[in-house]
C-alpha cells in the first residue's frame, strides 16, 4: 500500500531516513502543500494518509469530521518569529495593517493572534497559505508581517525584514509540527514500518506539555471548542 504524505517542507526525520536508506520497500507519494486547508481537504476526501502540520490544526480538523490521530512530532519545537516588512520595528506599528497567516482559525495563526492580543494590537488577518506563500507575500509588500520559521525567517531578514517577536521566548514549550495520520492506518504494517524508519531518524514522541500549552492559548483567546482534548488524539499522550 502506498502512503500519501503531505508537508510544507520535507521534515528532517523523513530526509534523514531517506539518506540512510531506511525507506526501502516503503511506497510513498509525497506532496508539498500550499496550506493546511488543502491538507484537511485531502484527509476528508481520503486522498491523504499522513500530514505534517501544526498540532493546533487538530482542534478544527476533528470538528470538521477528520478521523485522525497524532502519532509523533517531527521536531521538539518549531522556531517561529514574527517578521515585519522593512521599516517596521515594533509590533505596535502593525496596527491596522495586513498580517499573513495560513488559516485564521487554526494552526500557527493562533499563537500570533495571542501575541498581538496581549500587545493590544488589531491587524487585518489575511489567509495567504503555507510558509513559502507567506514569505513571498511579505517580500512582495502585499502584507506588513507574518510568522515564519527556518530557513524562511533568515531569508526575510536578509531582505531587510525586522524581527518583532519570537514565539519561543514567550512560550518555550510551544510544540513542533506533528505527524498526523488517518485513524484507519493505525496498526497497519505500512505505517509501522514508516514510523520505525522515521523513529530511527529523529522522530519524537508527542510532548504532553506542548498539547497543554496549545489548549491554554486557545482558552485565552476564547476559541477552545467544548470538550476539546488534544491528549485524547495523541497515540502516545
In this predicted structure, what is the pLDDT of residue 226? 85
> Which residue stretches of the chain have pLDDT < 70?
236-237
β-sheet bridge partners, residue 7: 32
pTM given for the model: 0.91
In this predicted structure, what is the pLDDT of residue 237? 41
In this predicted structure, what is the pLDDT of residue 236? 62
Please identify which residue in the block is written with the cell numbers 521536531: 75
Dist. CA 165–CA 108, nearest whole Å? 14
In this predicted structure, what is the pLDDT of residue 35? 92
Contacts 24+ apart (CB under 8 A), 21-30: 22/197, 22/200, 22/201, 23/194, 23/197, 25/193, 26/190, 26/193, 26/194, 26/197, 27/1, 27/2, 27/3, 27/190, 28/2, 28/3, 28/4, 28/194, 29/2, 29/3, 29/4, 29/5, 30/5, 30/6
pLDDT digits (tens, 9 = 90+) for 36-94: 999 999 999 999 999 999 999 999 999 999 999 999 999 999 899 999 999 999 999 99
In this predicted structure, what is the pLDDT of residue 86? 97
Domains of the chain: 3-76+173-233 (3.40.190.10), 81-170 (3.40.190.10)
Amino acid at each position: 500500500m502506498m502512503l500519501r504524505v503531505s508537508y510544507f517542507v520535507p521534515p528532517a526525520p523523513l530526509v534523514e531516513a531517506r539518506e540512510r536508506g531506511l525507506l526501502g520497500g516503503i511506497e510513498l507519494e509525497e506532496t508539498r502543500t500550499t496550506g493546511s486547508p488543502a491538507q484537511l481537504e485531502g484527509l476528508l476526501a481520503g486522498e491523504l494518509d499522513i500530514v505534517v502540520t501544526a498540532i493546533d490544526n487538530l482542534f478544527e480538523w476533528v470538528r470538521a469530521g477528520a478521523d485522525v490521530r497524532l502519532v509523533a512530532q517531527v521536531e521538539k519545537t518549531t522556531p517561529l518569529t514574527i517578521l515585519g516588512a522593512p521599516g517596521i520595528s515594533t509590533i505596535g506599528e502593525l496596527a491596522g495593517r495586513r498580517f499573513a497567516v495560513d488559516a485564521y482559525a487554526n494552526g500557527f495563526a493562533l499563537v500570533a493572534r495571542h501575541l498581538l492580543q496581549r500587545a493590544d494590537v488589531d491587524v487585518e488577518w489575511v489567509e495567504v497559505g503555507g510558509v513559502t506563500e507567506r514569505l513571498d507575500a511579505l517580500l512582495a509588500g502585499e502584507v506588513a508581517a507574518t510568522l515564519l520559521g527556518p530557513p524562511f525567517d533568515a531569508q526575510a531578514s536578509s531582505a531587510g525584514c525586522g524581527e518583532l517577536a519570537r514565539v519561543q521566548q514567550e512560550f518555550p514549550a510551544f510544540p513542533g509540527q506533528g505527524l498526523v495520520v488517518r485513524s484507519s492506518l493505525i496498526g497497519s504494517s505500512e505505517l509501522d514500518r514508516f514510523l520505525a524508519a522515521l523513529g530511527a531518524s529523529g522522530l519524537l514522541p508527542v510532548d504532553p506539555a506542548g498539547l497543554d500549552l496549545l489548549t491554554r492559548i486557545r482558552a485565552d483567546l476564547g476559541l477552545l471548542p467544548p470538550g476539546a482534548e488534544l491528549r485524547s488524539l495523541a497515540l502516545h499522550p
